[in-house]
Structure 1
Amino acid sequence: IDPNNGANEILAVDDINDTFINLPVSGDVSTNDLNADGPAGTEVFTLVSGPANGTVVFNADGTYTYTPNLDFVGTDTFEYQICDGGNPIACDTAIVTIEVINVTIGNEPPVANNDTNITLVDVPVNGNVLVNDFDPDGDPIIVTANTNPTNGSVVVNPDGTYTYTPNAGFVGVDTFEYTICDNGTPALCDTAIVTIYIINSNTNITVANDDAYNGEINTVISGNVLDNDNDPEGDNQTVDIAISPISGPSNGTVVLNADGTFDYTPGTDFIGTDQFVYEIFDDGSPVATDRATVYLVIQKTPAPAIAIVKTGIVNDENQDGCANVDETISYTFTVTNEGNVPLSSISVTDPLLEAPNPVVPIILVSGDDNGDGILQETETWTYEADYALTQIDIDAGQVINQATVEGTDPDSTVVTDLSDDDSVFEDDPTVTEVCQNPVIALIKTGIVNDTNGNGCADVDETIDYSFAVHNLGNVTLNNVMITDPLVTVVGGPITLLPGEVNNTAFTAEYVITQVDIDNGSVENQATVTAEDPAGNTVSDLSDNDSVLEDDPTITVLCQNPAIALIKVGIPTDENDNGCPDIGETIVYNFSVKNTGNVMLSNVTITDPIVAVVGGPIVLAPEEEDTTTFTAIYTITQADVDAGFVENQAIVEGTEPDGNVVSDLSDDNSYLEDDPTIIDVCQNVSIALEKTGQFNDENGNFSSDVGETISYEFAITNTGVVTLYDIYITDPLPGIEITGDPIAQLEPGEVDTVTFTATYVITQEDIDNGEVVNQATVFAEDIFGNIVQDDSDDPTDLTNNDNNGDGDPDDPTVVTLPLVLPTTFEIFNGVTPNGDGFNDFFLVEGISNYPVNNMKIFNRWGVLVYETDGYGGSNDSENVFRGISEGRVTVEQNKELPTGTYFYILTFPKENPGQESYNGYLYINR
């Protein structure tokens, strides 16, 4: 085309199209032809020559339908002519090249479609020959060679890009050929022709070249229609999406963008050809437009493929929560047809289920819906088989393997697949985890060896320990060993199979100590360790009787806590009278012995009658202590009353477990519990003194009938024991005794107030000149024995002991008094404390009778004082002040104790009315 020559010009550009074997294809040759000078819309298309290998129906608007001959595969062409309505009429011809392809299994050659491009004179043009080429297999393709054009030069790159440079001033059509190859084995190739139209035009143009794309059924085809379009002036090209696609597609949908990118989605399951027409414009001045057709081939490439997914589930038949030997793995084999052709002769094999392992059939359980033995593209076949676990599997912790599936396509091609565990796209082996439960248990028992046969554990006797090791898990355990912090364990290492028990491999012996016996037991735990098949350590603390617990083994040692006490008393006899007396002491010595087999701490002795000095102490078994504990006891009146001191001490010690052991003392043996008895001398006696006083009621200083005598009684406990229920009787007719029995009278105690008596004087008494009689006192000791005494008149120094009890028993004589002209009175109370009152024995009026003799006796009749001229010149000189004057049995100048004493006062010459007076006096300090 050379608009400068002034003639009407038109350009017919070669076209391409692609179809499958036996599949018609349609097209439109007008979209890429160029009628730059018009008149537009007057173009008429006619068929020049038909195709050699098919038929074509060609329409005047440039549309056509080509039908290849039956089973023809290859390249076919036909020629057409375009004429416009200009003056003169301009016409041109072009070739339509049809590629008829057959999609087969295996490597197919790529399809190279012819290319066209347009440029201006002296203007290089760029393009890409691979944009409309494809490989039915989807293999990558590259340009491997090309020829040189006649009227220019070209550089073609392996990626399909090229730059064609026309010769200077050349106007016309130029061509070059290129070759593409895939990367299959072997590599397959195809050739195509690139036609370059060089025009000389001063009108702005832009060129849209036809495109060809190949895709698979139900698969989106993406591309860019501008990749092989060209603008000779270098203007920017844009797809006019306001009107594009101008026509088509008929069997799918397209999303076309202004930058030339598009996504074509074929109709569901559509196989065949489709096309759409688009229009571009540039940014030149004026704006140029052009149209081109995108030819689409959607194929279903025979692609036989098969996949198998193998899954395994461990069956816990015994419901123990873990795998065991001979429990099974249920394998499920899911076989799917991953290709697009049916498959026959399906077989599933698995080396795990074949010899030398037990042979297990793999059974088809579902999926072959019509039962024709053909695995259709939409079918999923399921096979099942059970595998019995071995100990090796459990020790490994997993079962790893792969199955293989095979199938045959319609072309007798065998396809296979190794199983995957969860995906049809991978071939990972199926790993079925097998529960491993490494568990070990230890039972430790101990038996005491009673070497001496005494029925109890002793120091240096032994305990024999035995160990039963149990493999409670489901894996083999190796390097089984036992350690024990208490003893050295002999034996091992050993190996234990699941369920195995070994009770002979390990032993230990322990020597008993005193600490153990004190504890009452030997308590400890051993530890068993082992390695599972993975080398991990499993362990257990021993139990005494169960594999399910971890209690320490407690070997009970016979404890015999025992203690014994001997208490010995030694009287001190401070007064050397050969007998323990009240106020004297008993020294107690204690011997305590640990007669058991455990240590005793906090050993103490208590005694209900005395405070024990010493302790606490600790005693080892068989240890004896004779020096720590002592006690001093002071004899009491109650002891004297009883006649002995009898009691038992208690020894207590604390066992190691805190319990207290005790023993009552014995007097001479650790084997008995008799009380310790110390005899105390007893002297049970009582004394009664009776004094009478004439009552001169009428004041005539003479006794008269009817007048009375008042009697007083002094009762003295002269023994060393307490007396009870004391009363007095008196045989004197008519005497009236008043006073209730005395409940208790301590030794040495004198009662002068409880009992009194009154006697009415008779004429007989007056005739006799006196009243003579005796009373009798009665009492009981603590044991109910009766003691009695006849009364004594303390004024009578005759001191007759009629009953032989050592006390005088003189009857009381009351002389009926003569009236005396002078005052004479004897006072019988002495309190020698220096207070000026009663400090001496006062005899009032005795100074009137200076010739006198005074004797004073204690109650046992011992003379403790004697003097002549008692009272001196004023009644207070040379008097008795409670001080002994010294005699055989009484130390001189010794203060006499509180008590009753007796006096005898005689007047050898002149007297106050009587030659002799006697009576008692009482010293109170």
Structure 2
Amino acid sequence: MTANDTDKDGDLDPSTVVITKQPQNGTISVDPITGEVTYTPNKGYVGPDQFEYTVKDKAGNVSDPATVVIDITANPVAVDDSAETKEDTPIIIDVTSNDSDKDGDLDPSTVVITKQPKNGTVSVDPITGEVTYTPNKGYVGPDAFEYTVKDKAGNVSDPATVVVEVSANPVAVDDSAETKEDTPIIIDVTSNDSDKDGDLDPSTVVITKQPQNGTVSVDPITGEVTYTPNKGYVGPDQFEYTVKDKAGNVSDPATVVIDITANPVAVDDSAETKENTPIIIEVTSNDTDKDGDLDPSTVVITKQPQNGTVSVDPITGEVTYTPNKGYVGPDAFEYTVKDKAGNVSDPATVVIDITANPVAVDDSAETKENTPIIIDVTSNDTDKDGDLDPSTVVITKQPQNGTVSVDPITGEVTYTPNKGYVGPDAFEYTVKDKAGNVSDPAMVVIDIT
């Protein structure tokens, strides 16, 4: 303090410095040897202060008081900051935006990083003092760094801590689903999605690309998506969606592929069989499937016949129908068939007409030696269906002692005994009905007298 003081005798004595007026906003102490004065401002005080002192020479002469004026300037205050960014996403942080300086001359360009982050890197804009924080690739979690800032007087703040929360982007994973033609399906699209932070929010599912062959709706609570294929559409379709976590981070779009498979179509069938005669029916021969993968081995009888029994070939799907013994008339059963995707057809009905075999009844006749006789062999024959066809009479066993001829229209048989023969003779015949069912053979006995 005496560095600028003078004495004409050249014997100024710094050790004689005496404070003659104390400062109002601080305290002072004097070094008894050097005369240097240590001034300590009151805690938190910023502004001007002053005190006065005198000094002697070695002859004991005392100077007039001199005034010492001190300007106490404020240290800038750097305030802790917090920020949040997404995984693998840099963020610019205006660290000085909440900092202050009582003198009002904070200098953002003086920001200095005093402690580096452990899980990322930082760079400082030399003009604005803004800090760009870049998290390490794939890192999720908290990170921190420290910085100081000066004012224009060069006063340095204490370090402030900036805490950065690096939150994970949720990961939406592609999905696939399968439904049947004209059948809506509910898809839990987020069931395989993930979030490193563990706070995936299914209620934030958003459809980002609509399907081309159907419609979708999202449950606003569960995030489940209901997909409804367009009527009659069969084939692939797809849509895309995103989902957020509770921090608002959005996933990349995921694709949901849906395969809409056709229901096979089982077509009604009809068949005809004779009384007491089983019939094999290839029920799937007229059935169809848009996907082309009808599976005949999946034929299932869904409604049994009332007048017969059925069995299914487990490989071909062919159905063997056996009418009840002696039954004549209509009968029916129902079946379904699947395709290879497991889609089941609606039931189809198979109608069977069981026709009666005509009954040829034995006959007898009498004629004289060398005299032909016309026998109406079908006059006593019967047919449950009422459609006996006499024109179908066929001789199945010839007589031994005569000859026969059949009228091709009436079915009447002309028997001519051999010349001179007297005694019994016989022949056999069958007759059909109009459905082609053939009777068992009947015997005609002739007595030639």
**TM-score, normalized by the shorter chain, greater than 0.5:** no
TM-score range, shorter chain: 0.3 to 0.5
Q: Which has the higher contact order (CA 8 A, sep 6+)?
A: 2
TM norm structure 2: 0.34
TM norm structure 1: 0.19
> Which structure has the greater CA radius of gyration?
1
